[in-house]
Amino acid sequence: MRITLSDRQVVYAETYGKKTNPAVFLIHGGPGDSAYTFKLLAHRLSESFRVIVSEQRGCARSDFAHEQTITVRQLIADFEEIREAFNIRQWLILGHSFGGIIAIEYAVQKPESILGIVLENPAIDIFDSARCILENYILFFEHRGDSCRVKRIQRILADNCKTELIKAVDDFPNHIKNEFWGFDRLPEVYCEILKMSAEIGSQNQKREIFQKSLLKDAVLYDDGWSKLKAVSLPVRLIYGECDYITNQRIRDLFLQNAHLGSVYRIDSSGHYIHLDNSDKMAESIYQFATEVIHGLD
């Protein structure tokens, strides 16, 4: 379905499950991806929840957006309009990957709208996440015997130029990124979903436009750990055993800064747990939601 927001921007959304069930809102990453990979998880969750999935303004199946309107604050305002459009008082939110930063900012700005937060292999602090990914790229290229790329990444990490750190994360050919993130090792059915998601997200250069515009927003470069510390809601970090964005250091920092934080590992999963192990992901979310809702009684 398509929702027209107050500024006449049109965004794409899907809903699953009964209206009487507790609501869960799924926030995709990227920045600029589509929400297509959430399909399996949304179906699993719909047995117990009312699931809302939306593609952010200017992304994928949502209409083009003016570049100046692509900001974190505007995305959060859009989320609130979507929540009100579905007549939902409060919901659980899930932020995947880059969507983790957006989810935490949403909780800081609008805590009254949120019951709890699930972070799936999240970026929390954009610079720490970039360093974590690049450190793993070093191991990846060492294994391949690519000393030139190893030295280049080591130089970027040593220089610690924040602009270069962010740029370097995405500065590899697609076949390298697919191998690094393990997409080429997924079962064919999951690869097809990822391929379709990428095609939807990149149509008419929407992903590039969205990413370029959002990355200009200074809010993204605030200290993510301070933002997390400001959140008084329950937060669960769910990470895949084979993911590269949530190493032990990131998990330790999460537990140090989240007031009501918990960590849950899903074995044999990569970056897209909601795709390669949607059953376990749904189970963990259900357990967390039960704890949160009972805690309100």
Residue pair 102/222 in contact (Cβ under 8 Å)? The answer is no
* Percent with pLDDT over 90 in the chain: 80
pTM for this one?
0.94
Secondary structure of residue 116 in the 3-state scheme: strand
Which of 258, 253, 238, 210 shows the shortest CA–CA distance to 69? 210
Residue 296's pLDDT band, with cuts at 50, 70 and 90, is low
Token pair for residue 22? 């507790």
Secondary structure of residue 110 in the 3-state scheme: coil
Residue pair 74/56 in contact (Cβ under 8 Å)? The answer is no
Which of 92, 127, 120, 85 shows the shortest CA–CA distance to 106? 92
pLDDT attached to residue 199: 78
| pLDDT tens column, 111-120 | 999 999 999 9
Q: Report the alpha-carbon distance of residue 11 to residue 52 in Å, rounded.
A: 13
The amino acid present at 86, given as its one-letter code, is F
| pLDDT tens column, 241-281 | 999 999 999 999 999 999 899 999 999 999 999 998 999 99
Residue 274 has φ and ψ, to the nearest 5°, of -65, -10
* Percent with pLDDT over 70 in the chain: 98
Average pLDDT (221-237) is 97
Which of 59, 56, 51 shows the shortest CA–CA distance to 73? 56
Q: Residue 62 — left, alpha, or beta (φ > 0 → left; ψ -120 to 50 → alpha)?
A: beta
What topology is assigned to 2-125+186-296 in CATH?
Answer: Rossmann fold (3.40.50)
Q: Report the alpha-carbon distance of residue 1 to residue 56 in Å, rounded.
A: 13
Residue with tokens 């391929």: 195
pLDDT attached to residue 207: 87
| Residue 270 DSSP class | -
| pLDDT tens column, 121-173 | 999 999 999 999 999 999 999 999 999 999 999 999 999 888 899 989 988 99
Render 33-93 in DSSP notation, one character per residue.
--SGGGHHHHHHHTTTSEEEEEEPTTSTTSPP--GGG-SHHHHHHHHHHHHHHTT-S-EEE
Question: 203-219: buried (b, 16+ CB within 10 Å) or exposed (e) per residue?
Answer: eeebbebbbebbbebeb
| Residue 220 DSSP class | G
Q: Report the alpha-carbon distance of residue 132 to residue 246 in Å, rounded.
A: 8
pLDDT attached to residue 186: 76
Q: Report the alpha-carbon distance of residue 180 to residue 175 in Å, rounded.
A: 9
Average pLDDT, the chain: 93
The torsion defined by the Cα of 66, 68, 71 and 75, in degrees rounded to 10, comes to -30
